Amino acid sequence: MSDVQYAQLVYDFVRKWFAIIPPLICPATFTIDAPFGRFSPSEDSIFLVDGIKSWIFMELVSPATFIYTYLHSPLSPTTAAAAPPLTLSHPPTFLAALFLVHYLNRAIVSPLRTPSRSKSHIAVPLSAVFFNTVNGSLLGTYLSSPAAHSFLSGAFSRPLFWAGIALWAVGLIGNIAHDEILLNLRRKAKLKPKNDDDDDNNNGKDKSKKQEHYAIPYGGLYRFISYPNYFCEWVEWFGFALAASSPPSFASLVAFLHTATPPWLFFFSEIFLMFPRAWRGHQWYHDRFPDYPKERKAVIPFLL
Query: Which contiguous run of DSSP H or E holds residue 48?
Result: strand 48-49
| 237 vs 164: CA distance, rounded Å | 9
For residue 31, the SS3 value is coil
- What whole-number distance in Å separates Cα of residue 58 and Cα of residue 95? 22
Cα–Cα distance measured from residue 82 to residue 3, given in angstroms and rounded to the nearest whole number: 14
Which contiguous run of DSSP H or E holds residue 89? none
Per-residue pLDDT of the chain (304 residues), as tens digits, is 777 888 889 999 999 999 999 999 888 888 776 666 666 666 677 778 787 888 899 999 999 999 999 998 888 876 445 678 888 999 999 999 999 999 999 999 988 887 777 777 888 889 889 999 999 999 999 999 999 999 999 999 999 999 999 999 999 999 999 988 888 887 776 666 655 444 433 333 343 344 446 788 888 899 999 999 999 999 999 999 999 999 999 999 999 999 999 999 999 999 999 999 888 888 888 888 888 888 899 999 988 8
What are the residues facing 297 on neighbouring strands?
225
Between CA 117 and CA 260 the distance in angstroms is: 36
Using DSSP's 3-state secondary structure scheme, residue 120 falls into strand
| Residues paired with residue 102 on neighbouring β-strands, in sequence order | none
Max Cα–Cα distance, the chain, nearest Å: 71
